[in-house]
Amino acid sequence: MNSSGLLETDRWHGKAFHGEWVQGAAKIDVREPATGEKLGEVGESRPDDLPAVVARAQAAQAEWAVQPAERRAALFRRVAQLLEADRGALIDAIVRETGGLRGKAEVELNGTIDEIIHSAAILVQPEGHILPSRDASRLSLARRVPLGIVGVIAPWNFPMLLAMRSVAPAIALGNAVILKPDPQTPIVGGVALARAFEEAGLPAGVFSVVNGGASVGEALVEARGVRMITFTGSTAVGRRVGELAGKHLKRVALELGGKSPFIVLDDADLEAAASAGAWGSFLHQGQICMASGRHIVHRKVVNEYVEILTRKAAALPVGDPYREQVAIGPIINAKQIARVDQIVKDSVAAGAKLATGGTYKGPFYKPTVLHQVRSGMPAYELEIFGPVAPVIVAEDEDDAVRIANDTDYGLSGAVQTGSLERGLRVARRIRSGLVHINDQTINDVAECPFGGMGASGNGSRFGSMNNWDEFTEWQWMTVGGKPTRYPF
């Protein structure tokens, strides 16, 4: 990958950022999913690198936490400016490394910059309360204090944004952070962040990036001195991370998978609903945790809805988003494309009707609509993480709500209806962390609480004010001018 600016290769090629750039124990090749072309290589970290990375972070954090808030905020503003100044190269890099469209990359970079700006802003918000005191001569207060070191484990689908939404607020609020990006996207998901903080003048050791897969991830979760883990990824790995964090009594924020319901009632504008539904299922090839995983459509309108959705799906051009004008790019890897295809085939074998798609060439899976999907079929039960829209028939409003909640997941949800009253009535009954009336399921902005219920998370919420709760803990402090005397 040739680039001037933050991603200039001389600085990081073959290295990991253990508070400073170090040669890796081995190399991790980073490949473009659309072509297989090698984009670069980073250095792999070893699990036994962690104690030294943690020791360095501990020393740096103690200094960082006592920097005046305005100085920390100024540094964050510089990070935002650096990313903005390198916009063109970063967008190209996100497109090539994640296989996403240019528009997706723009949303990702803009969201990343928003996270930084919001993190600079929370620094100058009140950081505690004055409490009622039982002794008039003493002041009683509650103050928010940083946790210490926060470990961040991020996925490959929106690697920059999903890392930064934890990294930025955690560092802003006085913590040091050790990030482990997914090994498929360590340049935009790790190098770019490290270079931006480094160029902005963040003291060495406050931010580190360790590269690798499960063994390095587990070593980070277990590392002595790491007080919290924020993990974004699959529910299966989230359970493992939660188990290890529990064993070591660490705070853990788990942002996991989803199977989000997209309900279409019989009074909906079907063209608009199908447009939203297509976006919800096919954006970034469906590789989004909030993807519309089940289209739950009122029996009266289901045939017309499937017809429109099928027309839209069949018209979406598929190909290499870096070199062609397409709407659907590649699936991240061969294992995932085989999994998507298996889910579609098994569902068809179980009685679902293939309205369009269901085939692939290389890494490119055609947008697929599956009609008459029912409980028990893989397309009904499993998170697909591919461009597949399963359509399920609902008999009425109550049945739609029942189906929507017929899942262990609870990340997002949406209702399409011509009646605001009906929309509110249905949306209130959906068990999910996010729900949108007359929109689709994919929405994430820095100022709103983001997180899932059920198997989609463990109750953590990211976003602006909520970040105080995630990345600090309370300390009760009392202070008096004179020492208190006791009967002893």
Q: Which stretches does DSSP call E strand in 283-380?
A: 292-298, 353-356, 360-361, 364-365, 368-371
255 is catalytic: yes
240 interacts with ligand NAD by CB under 6 A? yes
Tokens 């961040």 found at: 152
Q: Which pair of structure tokens corresponds to residue 148?
A: 């210490």
Comparison of 53 and 393: residue with beta carbon closer to ligand NAD = 53
* Cβ–Cβ < 8 Å for 162, 232: yes
Per residue in 232-245, is it b (16+ CB within 10 Å) or e — as a string? bbebebbeebbebb
191 interacts with ligand NAD by CB under 6 A? no
Residue number of the CB closest to ligand NAD reads 217
Among 40, 174, 258, 390, binds ligand NAD (CB under 6 A): 258
237 interacts with ligand NAD by CB under 6 A? yes
199 is catalytic: no
* Cβ–Cβ < 8 Å for 389, 380: no
Phi, psi of 199 (to 5 degrees): -65, -30
153 interacts with ligand NAD by CB under 6 A? yes
Of 289, 383, 397, 470, the catalytic one is: 289
Among 21, 64, 156, 360, binds ligand NAD (CB under 6 A): 156
Among 157, 166, 412, 441, binds ligand NAD (CB under 6 A): 157
CA distance from start to end of the chain: 72
Comparison of 35 and 443: residue with beta carbon closer to ligand NAD = 443
Alpha helices (runs of H) in 86-181, residue ranges in sequence order:
87-98, 102-122, 159-172
Whole-Å CA distances, 429 to 19, 195, 450, 456: 47, 45, 18, 17
Q: In the bound complex, what is the minimum distance in angstroms from residue 197's beta carbon to ligand NAD?
A: 19
Of 108, 199, 255, 383, the catalytic one is: 255
Among 289, 401, 414, 442, binds ligand NAD (CB under 6 A): 289
Residues 423-462 that bind ligand NAD (CB under 6 A): 452, 456
257 interacts with ligand NAD by CB under 6 A? yes
Q: In the bound complex, what is the minimum distance in angstroms from residue 191's beta carbon to ligand NAD?
A: 15
151 interacts with ligand NAD by CB under 6 A? no
* Cβ–Cβ < 8 Å for 209, 189: no
334 interacts with ligand NAD by CB under 6 A? no
Work out the burial of residue 414: count CB atoms within 10 Å of its CB; fewer than 13 is exposed, 13-18 middle, 19 or more buried: buried
Binding residues for ligand NAD, rule: CB under 6 A, are: 153-157, 162, 180, 182-183, 213-214, 217-218, 221, 232-234, 237, 240-241, 255-258, 289, 383, 385, 411, 452, 456
Residues annotated as catalytic (active site), given as ranges:
255, 289
